[in-house]
Amino acid sequence: MSKLKISVVLLFCLFACKPRNKQKNSKFTVVTTTTMITDLLQNIGGEAIEVKGIMGPGVDPHLYKASEGDVAKLTQADLIVYNGLHLEGKLVDVFEKMNQIGRETVALGGLLTEKQIINSEAFVSAHDPHIWFSIDNWKKITKELIVFLSKLNPQNKAVYQKNGAKYIEQLNALQQEVKTKVEELPKENRILVTAHDAFSYFGKEFNFEVLGLQGLSTTTEAGVRDVQRLSNLIIQREIKAIFVESSVPQRTVKALQASVESKGKEVKIGGELFSDALGNTNEETGNYIGMFRYNVNTIVNALK
């Protein structure tokens, strides 16, 4: 048995049989994984629910392992919301254990249709898990969560419907804002090179060609051949800028930049994008809408 499975079993045994210490008038408790999901539930639930995120700003969900404190939160939750599609690959065993002890769980990837999910044989789930980079997907997920929460916690149905409708309006406005910003960039310049392949949904929705140095998961390292291939393409296509990511070490992108320079050409690092996690909660990038706006402005301004 692997060390991960042993730790999951031990943590499960430690907490599974403990009764949930829910006060009679306590709020409906939702435990979330990624920061994007935490922000989404806070927007829908508002003051009616208590949202506890287990991942913080800058945390890579591909590599995240559950702590003892995480398992304690999960076992006390009324609802567990996670991305699915194997984004939180090292938490799969934990979610299975939660189901076994009767905790309600929902994977956001399961709320989308096959047509709304990008297939990828290069990833363990055979799907691209970065579904939040499609605003259309995020609106669909919001609508589905409103229905799901209303059935599970009907006393707050009106709150979920009101907050959810307001948030969808904000997402509609964001979508139009992004389209307008992207129009500033000539189509031939819409080539996005990033640390790992997290932006395919964004590329599909806003007509960008997306190239990731690493694959869909940060668990796979970029090799010398990957760097050479992509540096040749940057020179050939005269790409102006490449981008680092907040939740991924910068060394591979800097190696790519150095490879281009070693061939007598230049490419700038156009800025830091937020991919698998939001920024700090007190900053513009600390919520989904702010993060998306920041990313698009950074990309367009660097590639002009």
pLDDT of residue 218: 56
DSSP structure class, residue 55: S
Pick the CATH number of 3-177 from 3.10.100.10, 3.20.20.70, 3.40.50.1980, 3.40.190.10: 3.40.50.1980
Determine the Cα–Cα distance for residues 160 and 28; give it in Å rounded to an integer: 12
Please say if the pLDDT value at position 34 is more than 90: yes
pTM here is 0.90
Q: Please give the pLDDT value at position 6.
A: 41
Which pLDDT score, from 0 to 100, does residue 65 have?
Answer: 95
For residue 296, what are the contacts with CB-CB under 8 A and spacing of at least 6? Answer: 178, 181, 182, 206
Residue 26 pLDDT more than 90?
no
Phi-psi region of 186 (alpha: psi -120 to 50; beta: other; left: phi over 0): beta
Residue 118 CA: distances (Å) to CA of 27, 40, 72, 96, 112: 36, 21, 34, 25, 11
- The model's confidence at residue 200, banded by pLDDT at 50, 70 and 90, is very high
Options 3.40.50.2000, 3.40.50.1980, 1.10.260.40, 3.30.70.20; CATH of 185-303: 3.40.50.1980
Q: Is the pLDDT of residue 71 over 50?
A: yes
State the pLDDT at residue 303.
98
Helix axes 68-75, 3-15, angle to 10 degrees: 50
> Exposed, middle or buried, 135 (CB in 10 Å: 0-12/13-18/19+)?
buried
What is the pLDDT confidence band of residue 219, given thresholds at 50, 70 and 90? low
Structure tokens given for 197: 């392949």
Residue 293 · residue 177 · CB < 8 Å = yes
Where do you find CATH 3.40.50.1980 in the chain?
A: 3-177, 185-303
Output the CA angle 39-195-202, nearest 5 degrees.
50
